[in-house]
């Protein structure tokens, strides 16, 4: 059997293991999410099992995406341990095929899967998460136990800043509608410091393309009497999607929207460190997937006849959890500006990759 056929065979077995791991993890996530939503929503709103299951399908992809590194770790360990127990890896290495040759296709496949997860799966899961929040709010609209929270938005450019406060909001088919709105307008002086210019009170504000449409407006400038008007338009640097993203955490924003979210947030005078960290973490995702695939192989190459294979595979699983918590810990340090954002995003993936390569070198080359 040629080396190319061996590589394709190992790749097929690895993808099979990854697929099985994905199916198991997805089933567990669906079950856990269904029970959690039944507990948190089912007891407080008039919903049936179909509504709960629909919400579960909307929320689960974002959780599955979070656990995808474990899919490659568990799937890779399962595949390579199976090959080892059937002595197929022994036969390959006895035929002169280096472990690097049959591990490389699995690592490349993991990298490609990471790119697809960032470019395609992330936008889909972000859209489903937004739909989940909208459907959840609709189902809970008649529940009196949830106290509405005030809404704060901020927009601006190099000359002006606007702070928007609203009592409530509605988002219908992408249209943002605020109620009980107060708008505070500032202009930057020559030193770049914002100076208050005027305040507007409106019963309702609807975000149109390029402007806010205000209704039942009362406008007051510094040192002047207030002026009432039925409607008023104000230029906006936000679009509907960007405005909705201001209500959400960086984890719910699609990868392709993150650069715009960073730009608009910094234009408005806010810190965009959370968005920058998420963007760098998404860029590091393919490297993290590759590291997990290499770790899975490195912890599964010990000869079965020497014993200790199960313990070594268990150590690989434990190391995967350590990498996961290290990633979360580094992210927390980055958001707190304790370490640079670039290091917080890339350090877990790079450390995991170097650990896998080091162990593989030790196992294969002594």
Predicted pLDDT of residue 114: 92
Q: Are 93 and 8 found together in one domain?
A: yes
243-253 per-position pLDDT tens digit: 555 555 666 77
Q: Quote the tokens at residue 293.
A: 């695939």
* Range of 135-144, 279-288, 357-366 with top mean pLDDT: 279-288
Q: Tell me, yes or no, whether 214 lies in a domain.
A: yes
H-helix or E-strand spanning residue 281 = helix 273-298
Nearest to 201 by CA among 171, 169, 229: 229
Q: Are 182 and 115 found together in one domain?
A: no
The domain tally of the chain equals 2
Q: Count of CB atoms within 10 A of residue 211's CB?
A: 14
Residue 56 burial class via C-beta count within 10 angstroms: exposed 0-12, middle 13-18, buried 19 and up: buried
> How is 297-360 classified by DSSP, letter by letter?
HHTT-S-GGGS-HHHHHHHHHHHHHHHHHHHHHHHHHHHTTSS-HHHHHHHHHHHHHHHHHHHH
107 has a pLDDT exceeding 50:
yes
Angle at 135 between CA 131 and CA 139, to 5 degrees: 170
Structural domain harbouring 75: 3-140+274-365
Q: Are 299 and 353 found together in one domain?
A: yes
pLDDT tier at 174, thresholds 50, 70, 90: low
Percent of the chain at pLDDT exceeding 90: 11
Residue with tokens 């490195």: 298
210-244 per-position pLDDT tens digit: 788 888 888 887 666 778 888 888 888 776 665 55
49-64 per-position pLDDT tens digit: 888 888 899 888 888 8
Q: Tell me, yes or no, whether 257 lies in a domain.
A: no
Q: Tell me, yes or no, whether 258 lies in a domain.
A: no
Q: Are 133 and 175 found together in one domain?
A: no
3-state secondary structure of 214: strand
Q: Are 134 and 283 found together in one domain?
A: yes
CB 295 within 8 A of CB 354: no
pLDDT tier at 147, thresholds 50, 70, 90: very low
Q: Are 200 and 84 found together in one domain?
A: no
Q: Tell me, yes or no, whether 252 lies in a domain.
A: no
To the nearest 10°, the Cα dihedral for 28, 32, 34, 40? -170
Question: Which residues, listed in sequence order, are joined to residue 218 by a DSSP beta bridge?
Answer: 201, 228
Q: Are 111 and 177 found together in one domain?
A: no
Give the sign of the dihedral formed by CA 71, CA 72, CA 74, CA 79.
positive
Q: Are 169 and 128 found together in one domain?
A: no
Q: Are 203 and 305 found together in one domain?
A: no
């Amino acid at each position: 059997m040629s080396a190319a056929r061996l590589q394709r065979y190992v790749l097929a077995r690895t993808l099979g293991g990854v697929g099985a791991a994905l199916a198991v993890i997805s089933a567990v996530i669906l079950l856990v999410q269904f029970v959690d939503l039944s507990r948190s929503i089912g007891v407080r709103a008039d919903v049936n099992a179909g509504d709960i299951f629909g919400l579960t399908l909307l929320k689960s992809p974002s959780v599955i995406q979070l656990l995808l590194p474990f899919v490659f770790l568990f799937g890779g360990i399962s595949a390579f341990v199976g090959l080892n127990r059937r002595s197929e890896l022994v036969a390959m290495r006895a035929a002169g095929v280096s472990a690097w040759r049959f591990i490389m296709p699995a690592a490349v496949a993991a990298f490609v899967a990471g790119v697809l997860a960032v470019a395609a799966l992330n936008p889909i899961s972000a859209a489903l998460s937004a739909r989940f929040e909208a459907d959840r709010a609709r189902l809970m609209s008649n529940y009196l136990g949830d106290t509405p929270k005030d809404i704060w938005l901020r927009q601006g450019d190099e000359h002006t800043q606007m702070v928007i406060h609203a009592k409530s909001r509605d988002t219908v088919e992408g249209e943002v509608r605020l109620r009980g709105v107060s708008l505070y307008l500032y202009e930057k002086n020559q030193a770049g410091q914002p100076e208050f210019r005027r305040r507007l009170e409106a019963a309702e504000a609807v975000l149109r393309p390029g402007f806010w449409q205000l209704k039942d407006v009362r406008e007051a400038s510094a040192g002047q009497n207030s002026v009432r008007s039925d409607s008023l338009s104000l230029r906006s640097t936000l679009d509907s999607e960007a405005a909705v993203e201001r209500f959400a955490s960086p984890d719910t924003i699609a990868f392709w929207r993150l650069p715009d979210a960073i730009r608009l947030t910094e234009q408005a005078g806010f810190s965009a460190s959370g968005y920058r960290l998420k963007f760098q973490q998404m860029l590091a995702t393919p490297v993290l997937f590759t590291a997990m695939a290499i770790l899975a192989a490195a912890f599964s190459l010990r000869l079965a006849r020497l014993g200790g294979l199960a313990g070594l595979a268990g150590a690989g699983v434990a190391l995967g959890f350590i990498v996961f918590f290290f990633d979360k810990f580094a992210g927390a340090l980055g958001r707190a500006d304790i370490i640079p954002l670039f290091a917080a995003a890339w350090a877990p993936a790079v450390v995991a990759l170097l650990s896998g390569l080091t162990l593989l070198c030790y196992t294969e080359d002594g």
